[in-house]
Amino acid sequence: MTDSRQRKGRAGEDLACQYLQRLGFEIIHRNYRLSHLELDLICYDGACLVFVEVKNSPSGTFGHPATWIDQKKMDRLRKAAELYIDENEISGIDIRFDAVTINRGEVEYFKNAF
């Protein structure tokens, strides 16, 4: 990944974290890596463990960033979440998959995105 792309991704994640924290989320991990998989943000929304995918499009050139979360991406995120839950011996709590998109600086939040 290029430095420019990493900076854009980091900036988007910073905005997403700020937004979610204003909503009362507790951010527990950023860019959590599991082998070849990655979870952008792992948070608690009350007692619910939330895996958040962040997509940032500073220019809006390639359509709305929510459209970038396709079935293949969702499957990879579910697998990563499963590995995270197993690795951390988590059980007995609700989990959810949310998304935050930043399109030309505008933040949108999608609860229960998939």
Question: In this predicted model, what pLDDT tens digit does every residue of 23-43 receive, in sequence order?
Answer: 999 999 999 999 899 999 999
Q: Give residue 73's region: left, alpha or beta (phi > 0; psi -120 to 50).
A: alpha
For 67, the domain range is 3-110
% of the chain with per-residue pLDDT over 90: 74
The CATH number that applies at residue 14 is 3.40.1350.10
The mean per-residue pLDDT over the stretch 74-90 comes to 97
Please check whether residue 16 is in contact with residue 55, taking contact to mean a CB–CB distance below 8 angstroms.
Answer: no
Distances (CA, A) of 11 to 57, 65, 77: 11, 15, 21
pLDDT, tens digit (0-9, with 9 covering 90-100), for 39-78: 999 999 999 999 999 999 876 677 788 889 999 999 999 9
* Burial per residue of 71-82, b for 16 or more beta-carbon CB atoms within 10 angstroms, e otherwise: eeeeebbeebbe
107: helix, coil or strand? strand
Residue-level pLDDT at 65: 87
Domain count, the chain: 1
Which of 30, 14, 24 has the alpha carbon at shortest distance from 44? 24
